[in-house]
Amino acid sequence: MAAAHPSSSPGVTSPDAPDPTPSVIDALVESAAAHAAAPDAPARTPRPKRRVAVVACMDARLDLFGILGLKPGDAHLIRNAGGVATDDVIRSLTISQRKLGTREVVLVHHTDCGMLTFTEDELRQELLDDTGIKPSWAAESFTDLDVDVRSSVKRVRTSPFLPHRDHVRGFVYDVDTGILREVE
């Protein structure tokens, strides 16, 4: 444990002393080592067995393996804030399809999403006030889940970079009930 700074109270560490609390990252790295040594480690091929890519929100409540019945190696999982089909998602889907064999795309938004809690203008102003710089990227917040799912589906279906656009479907997952509802 780090020594207390001479001018601080007993038992209080210096502000420049390393944090003695174990890092979450260290625990994750230990888990990764145990996983690699497990006899049932997943296949090491980058080509998804089920030839599907899933675009979903980064929300920690979404267990995409459990919700969609996937196993490691089954699908490419692409996650971002809101599960929005941004330019970077299109980039990832392009590589997924053209180089790694996927043919279908599933988009998953969810209820109680943080992206519903602010507007684009609010976030841009907050960032400008805090940093003096407006971001060069859009947050792509939204006010209606179904409308945004349709918009993301349309972006995927109309991208000239994606050769497989016929099997693209969008859904909303209800975090309270566990129900996955398709958006028409």
pLDDT in tens, 137-180: 999 999 999 999 999 999 999 999 999 999 999 999 999 999 99
Which tokens sit at 132? 């003096």
What's the pLDDT at 1?
Answer: 42
Q: What angle do CA 64, 67, 69 make, to 5 degrees?
A: 90
What's the pLDDT at 38?
Answer: 75
As a dihedral over the C-alpha atoms of residue 66, residue 54, residue 152, residue 123, rounded to 10 degrees, the angle is: 70
pLDDT in tens, 52-99: 999 999 999 999 999 999 999 999 999 999 999 999 999 999 999 999
Query: Going from the N-terminus, what domains does the chain have, and what CATH number goes with each?
Result: 43-183 (3.40.1050.10)
HSE, side-chain direction, 13 A CA sphere, residue 9: 2
Percent of the chain with pLDDT over 70: 89
Residues 6+ apart with CB under 8 A from 135: 124, 127
